[in-house]
Amino acid sequence: MRSLLTILFSLVALVVSAGIIEVGKDKNTKSLKLGVSLAKSGDTIMLYPGLYREGNIVISKQIQLIGVGNPVLDGELKHEMLTITGHNIVVKGITFRNAGYSSFNDYAAIKIIDAGNVRVEDNNIINSSFAIHIANSTESIIRGNTIRGNNKSEHSSGNGIHLWKCSGMLVENNSIEGHRDGIYFEFVTFSNIVKNRSEKNIRYGLHFMFSNDDNYQDNIFRNNGAGVAVMFSKKVTMTRNHFEENWGAAAYGILLKEIKEGTIRQNTFVKNTVGIFMEGSSRLNIEKNVFMNNGWAVKVQASCDENTFNFNNFYGNSFDVSTNGTMTLNKFSGNYWDKYEGYDLDRNGVGDVPFHPVSMYGMIIEQNPTTLILLRSFMVSLLDKAEKAIPSLTPENLIDDKPMIKPHRL
């Protein structure tokens, strides 16, 4: 009891020493700008409900800016609202709307630059070109924000959460809609993207470049203009994400370009035009994923090598695997294919004849896309059957040597 009291007292003492500045229409401090300038390092600013139109506010001290009862900051489509630079800063529970747009500067609702240990939590950001723009920062947390963009054209719209040259960041539980790219990573290392939901963005749900040693898991990327792109990165781990309904001529569940040594595990790809598109990627482990009702589950270009596809389930895809060459440098083993028609005499759950996941018609389409009009015609299925019996056009060695009879329970 005594120790508890001691803790309580010391906490109170801490709060008192930290100091609280209340900003609100009926408080002493009416303006947030004034509040920020009055605050000393370690202070907390409580922002009470109201509409604040104060242009750009720069926070460079160690302060906590906490919204009480959803105060609104309005940028009047002219200003960048918050610029944060420094360490140990918290922004929480505030609605930002109408940030400015400029074709010269990347104005954002919240811009974090040259900072460390910043927490941006539970904010609402509405109608901004860039919502949260982070540059040259480390060890910060972006969590629980709801971001709704104005969904204009690709060039006049910005990214939902934009990170450039950061390290050790955590982007968690955010929901992003209607921006150019939902989440944008460039030169970001050792960071996690967890449980976010990125939908209906004009370009990519997640755009990922030159970012090594990152991990993204449990995210949902749905109905984005071009799906998710992961490019020029090493050691990226992607786990338990959902990639759904990314439809279009250049839309992919994931576009992998020049990716090395990554892992793609336990993800679900549903109803994408292309589930995974791989180009120039090597040493990736793709395992235990579910590919369902995609146009093409996996497109592996001939420039990929040493990738392994193990224990995945393929159901109801128009085409399971397609490729543009005959050389096979990737390995498929132990996957379940719903198109497999072999048998299992020794009843060990593994089919006795190898499965050729690339169909003849898949190769034909690759050469002459117009023939898509013949999809599911009697002639095409005859061609596929003939090709299965005597392979001539399809890559002979692209086989799954251990096709499963029953789907994996994942």
Residues binding another protein (CB under 8 A): 247-249, 251, 271-274, 293-296, 315-316, 318-319, 338, 364, 367-382
Per the rule left: phi > 0, alpha: psi between -120 and 50, beta: everything else, 25 is alpha
- Least Cα distance to 187 among 201, 204, 207 occurs for 207
With a CB cutoff of 8 Å and minimum separation 6, the contacts of 262 are 230, 233, 234, 235, 236, 237, 238, 256, 281, 283, 284, 285
Q: Determine the Cα–Cα distance for residues 214 and 172; give it in Å rounded to an integer.
A: 14
Per the rule left: phi > 0, alpha: psi between -120 and 50, beta: everything else, 60 is alpha
Kindly state the smallest distance separating residue 338's Cβ from another protein, in Å: 7
Kindly state the smallest distance separating residue 364's Cβ from another protein, in Å: 8
CA distances for 109 relative to 97, 127, 203, angstroms: 7, 9, 20
**C-beta of 302 vs 383, nearer to another protein:** 383
Q: Is 397 helix (H, G, I), strand (E, B) or coil?
A: coil
With a CB cutoff of 8 Å and minimum separation 6, the contacts of 27 are 48
Spell out a b/e string for 220-250, using b for 16 or more CB atoms within 10 Å of the CB, else e: bbbbbbbbbbbbebbbbbbbbbbbbbbbeee
**C-beta of 49 vs 316, nearer to another protein:** 316
**C-beta of 319 vs 355, nearer to another protein:** 319
**C-beta of 190 vs 247, nearer to another protein:** 247
Kindly state the smallest distance separating residue 383's Cβ from another protein, in Å: 9
**C-beta of 232 vs 315, nearer to another protein:** 315
Which residue type sits at 178? G
**C-beta of 96 vs 296, nearer to another protein:** 296
Kindly state the smallest distance separating residue 389's Cβ from another protein, in Å: 18
Kindly state the smallest distance separating residue 223's Cβ from another protein, in Å: 12
Kindly state the smallest distance separating residue 358's Cβ from another protein, in Å: 15
Kindly state the smallest distance separating residue 148's Cβ from another protein, in Å: 25
Residue given tokens 């005597």 in the structure block: 390
Question: In the structure encoding, which two tokens stand for residue 200, read together?
Answer: 């209906």
With a CB cutoff of 8 Å and minimum separation 6, the contacts of 172 are 141, 142, 143, 144, 192, 193, 194, 195, 196
Kindly state the smallest distance separating residue 371's Cβ from another protein, in Å: 5
**C-beta of 16 vs 249, nearer to another protein:** 249
Residue pair 21/43 in contact (Cβ under 8 Å)? The answer is yes
Spell out a b/e string for 31-55, using b for 16 or more CB atoms within 10 Å of the CB, else e: ebbebbeebeeebbbbbbebebebe
**C-beta of 104 vs 378, nearer to another protein:** 378
Kindly state the smallest distance separating residue 250's Cβ from another protein, in Å: 8
Residue pair 88/63 in contact (Cβ under 8 Å)? The answer is no
**C-beta of 208 vs 252, nearer to another protein:** 252
Kindly state the smallest distance separating residue 370's Cβ from another protein, in Å: 5
State which H helix or E strand residue 368 sits in.
none
**C-beta of 21 vs 251, nearer to another protein:** 251
